[in-house]
Structures are given as structure tokens and as C-alpha cells.
Chains A and B, each alone.
Chain A
Amino acid sequence: AQSVTQLGSHVSVSEGALVLLRCNYSSSVPPYLFWYVQYPNQGLQLLLKYTSAATLVKGINGFEAEFKKSETSFHLTKPSAHMSDAAEYFCAVSDYSSASKIIFGSGTRLSIRP
């Protein structure tokens, strides 16, 4: 069975600092991996996805993530945080062998200090 673990339910960084949100996955088959962002009172929006092409994936708003098979990780990073990055971030995994279903992590709330 697939699963996703996000380390840290809340991360706080200063504006301009590096953002690092951690995600580890478990999958018995090559996975597809996603990061979604949820701004307050909104639905989820795709930030980026890994679908077995390049291991370093670039997404919107300056975010990127690196797929590391040996570490079963897909951490999300951004070199310099902006106030507008404050949101909830979800890592998700799917093998698309079963009706395109996605398993979501429990989320990490990112706060930005001025």
C-alpha cells in the first residue's frame, strides 16, 4: 500500500530564508509524486509533479522538488520565502494503477515571519 509522511505539521521561516518542506513516501511500484498548495479557504492547487522524467522538478512560484529513490523522498524547496508563500502544503503519491487515486499526506502549514 502506498503512503506519504510529511515531517513537521508546521514550519516557520523568515522572509527571504530557505523553505524546506519534507516528504517521504512508500510505494511498491514506481510512484507519481505531487505537491499541492492550499491557500486559506480555497481548494488545492498543483505546485509540481514528478512522473518519472527528470528527478529535479520545477513548479510554480519558484518552488522545486527532487525525487530521491534511494531515500524515498520528495522534499519541496524554495530558495527565498515570500510572505505570499504562507499556506498549507500537501505531498501526495499515486501509482495510477487504481483509478488514478492519490494518497495525500497530512499537510504542512508554512508560516512566513516578516
Chain B
Amino acid sequence: NAGVTQTPKFRILKIGQSMTLQCTQDMNHNYMYWYRQDPGMGLKLIYYSVGAGITDKGEVPNGYNVSRSTTEDFPLRLELAAPSQTSVYFCASTQTGGSYEQYFGPGTRLTVT
């Protein structure tokens, strides 16, 4: 099992550009999450999904979009990147009815200049 994988590991964007952060899990988990981590801060939930075709906003959704067409994949789309979106982005997954542990990917470090 690879667990949760994220690509790319690093990316530099110019203001106004767009990009998609990829997240894939091979554990057949139904719940998936996107977080951002700013320096000295905890994790803030951006979006989450309770299953294929179902997504919902978290604490800080503005400037982002998601889709969940399959159980495995949960891409995060940034439209019109802004310096405030400079952060480290983590994808996570869990299976309801299990141990409630969230499994995290290694993260994507994004810089917007």
C-alpha cells in the first residue's frame, strides 16, 4: 500500500496562475480531506468529501475548488493564485466505522509570488 500520495511536492506559481494539486489514496477510504498549514499554525480544513460525488466546504474554502469523481482521487484546484495561498497543503483520508485515524500524505509546498 502506498497510502496517501500527493503531487507535486513543490511548486512555485505566479499571481493569477492556476494549478491542480493531486491526491490519491489506495486504502479504499470513503472520507478525504484537504488541509493547509501555515507557518506556526495548525492545520485548517479547506474541503472534504464523504464519498465519490459528494464534497463540502471546510473552514477556509475561498479560492479553492474540489471534485471527487472516484473513491481514490481528490484533486484540489487553485484558481487565480494569490500570495495568501502560499502554504503547505496536506491531503488526508479515513474510513468511517474504523479507528477514526486520518492518514496523511507527505504534503505539497506551494509558493505564490
The interface of chain A, by Cβ under 8 A from chain B, is: 4, 9, 32, 34, 41-46, 49, 51, 90, 94, 96, 99-102, 104-107
Asked if A51 and B90 make an inter-chain contact with CB atoms under 8 angstroms apart, the answer reads: no
A42 vs chain B, min Cβ distance (A): 6
Contact A100:B96 (CB < 8 A) given known A42-B106, A43-B90, A46-B101: yes
Residues of chain B in range 68-106 having any CB-CB distance to chain A below 8 Å: 90, 92, 94, 96, 99-102, 104-106
* Interface check B112, CB cutoff 8 A: no
Q: How many residues of B sit at the interface, in one of the four size bands?
A: 20 to 34
Q: Which residues of B contact A99 (CB under 8 A)?
A: 31, 48, 50, 56
A102 vs chain B, min Cβ distance (A): 6
Contact A96:B90 (CB < 8 A) given known A9-B40, A43-B106: no
**Which of A42, A45, A96, A104 lies in contact with B100, CB distance below 8 A?**
A96
* Interface check B42, CB cutoff 8 A: yes
* Interface check B58, CB cutoff 8 A: yes
Q: Which residues of A contact B96 (CB under 8 A)?
A: 100
Asked if A107 and B101 make an inter-chain contact with CB atoms under 8 angstroms apart, the answer reads: no
- Closest residue to B104 on the A side, CB-wise? A43
Q: Which residues of B contact A49 (CB under 8 A)?
A: 99-101
A103 vs chain B, min Cβ distance (A): 8
Give B36-74 as 1s and 0s: 1 = Cβ < 8 Å from A's Cβ atoms: 000011110100101000001010000000000000000
Asked if B41 and A106 make an inter-chain contact with CB atoms under 8 angstroms apart, the answer reads: yes
A90 to B42 Cα, complex, angstroms: 7
List 30 A-B pairs, Cβ < 8 Å: A9-B40, A32-B100, A34-B101, A41-B106, A42-B107, A43-B4, A43-B104, A44-B43, A44-B90, A44-B92, A44-B102, A46-B101, A49-B101, A51-B100, A90-B42, A90-B43, A99-B31, A99-B56, A100-B31, A100-B96, A101-B33, A101-B58, A102-B102, A104-B42, A105-B42, A106-B40, A106-B41, A106-B42, A107-B40, A107-B42
8 smallest beta-carbon distances between A and B, as pairs? A43-B104, A104-B42, A44-B104, A104-B43, A106-B42, A43-B106, A46-B101, A100-B31
